[in-house]
């Protein structure tokens, strides 16, 4: 049964890894602003031009 001790040791290590990741995230400021990033992700830089053209085209068609 002593194998279970090794398994528990590993499971604790993995869990500690996650805890560490969480603490790092808090320290990094990821929990300071929980709203803006959700909007920011919707801004795609490259396609700006294409979008603008599409919009103009669709306006012309009407």
* Chain residues in the site for another protein (CB under 8 A): 1, 4-5, 8, 11-12, 15-16, 18-19, 22-23, 26-27, 29, 31-36, 39-40, 42-43, 48, 51-52, 55, 58-59, 62
Beta carbon of residue 35, minimum distance to another protein (angstroms, whole number): 5
Beta carbon of residue 22, minimum distance to another protein (angstroms, whole number): 5
One DSSP character per residue, the chain reads: -THHHHHHHHHHHHHHHHHHHHHHHHHTTTTT-SSHHHHHTT--STTHHHHHHHHHHHHHH-
């Amino acid at each position: 049964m002593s194998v279970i001790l090794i398994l528990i040791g590993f499971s604790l290590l993995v869990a500690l890894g996650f805890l560490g990741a969480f603490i790092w995230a808090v320290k990094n400021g990821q929990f300071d602003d929980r709203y803006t990033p959700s909007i920011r992700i919707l801004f795609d830089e490259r396609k700006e031009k294409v979008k603008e053209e599409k919009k103009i085209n669709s306006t012309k068609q009407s």
